[in-house]
Structure 1
Amino acid sequence: MSDTPPDRLDSDPRSRFHDAAALERGIGIRLNGKERQDVEEYCVSEGWVRVPAGKARDRRGNPMTIKIKGEVVAYFRDPEPEAEA
């Protein structure tokens, strides 16, 4: 795995942008210079994140999300794991 996180990532396993290996390693997100802990999905190139909209749920029980636009910076929280021999 490279040292840069994916351009777009979603925490929902049904999404085509879901990457379990990257999520296990831990992704940090800064939106407009502020650290965000509640990001469900992000896209660095398009400049947006999706966050839950309070306690609201859709008809399938998933949290309702809102899209916030701005400067998105994604980074790995943990260093890359060493390859075991």
Structure 2
Amino acid sequence: MPALPALPDRLSTNPGSPYYDEALLQQGVGIRFKGEEKTNVDEYCVSEGWIRVALAARDRKGNPLTMKLNGSVEPYIKGEG
């Protein structure tokens, strides 16, 4: 059985971010935030205890607006956790 990749402390779905990791995202990363499954997470940081969630609104460049929420963050590989 192959070893599971270590999930980073911080990960983003935005290709312009230094925390973006396409290979890891293709494996399917899930997020539990305050014990609840979240599907609209744009970025997370485990050590600082926050997630950014995408909102329906867009900025003037067409990028989705995000909101930062604080709490316990538990990332996992989907299908494994």
TM-score, structure 2 as length reference: 0.88
Counterpart mapping for 1:42-57 below 5 A:
42-53=44-55, 55-57=56-58
- Code of the residue aligned with 1:29 in structure 2: it is I
Q: 8 Å contact 1:25–1:78 — kept in the other structure?
A: no
Q: Distance in 2 between matches of 1:25 and 1:15?
A: 19
Query: Displacement of 1:3 after TM fit?
Result: 2.9
Amino acid at match of 2:8: P
**Alignment-derived partner of residue 77 in structure 1:** 78
**Residues 4, 75 of structure 1: 8 Å contact kept:** no
**1:66 aligns to what?**
67
Q: d(CA) in 1 for partners of 2:36 and 2:79?
A: 19
Matched positions, count: 78
Q: Who is 2:38 aligned against?
A: 36
Whole-angstrom CA distance in 2 between matches of 1:3 and 1:16: 19
Q: Which residue of 1 aligns with 2:28?
A: 26
Unaligned runs of 5+ in 1: 80-85
Once residues 46 and 70 of structure 2 are traced to their aligned partners in structure 1, the CA distance between those partners, rounded to angstroms, is 10
Task: Give the unaligned 5+ runs of structure 2.
Answer: none
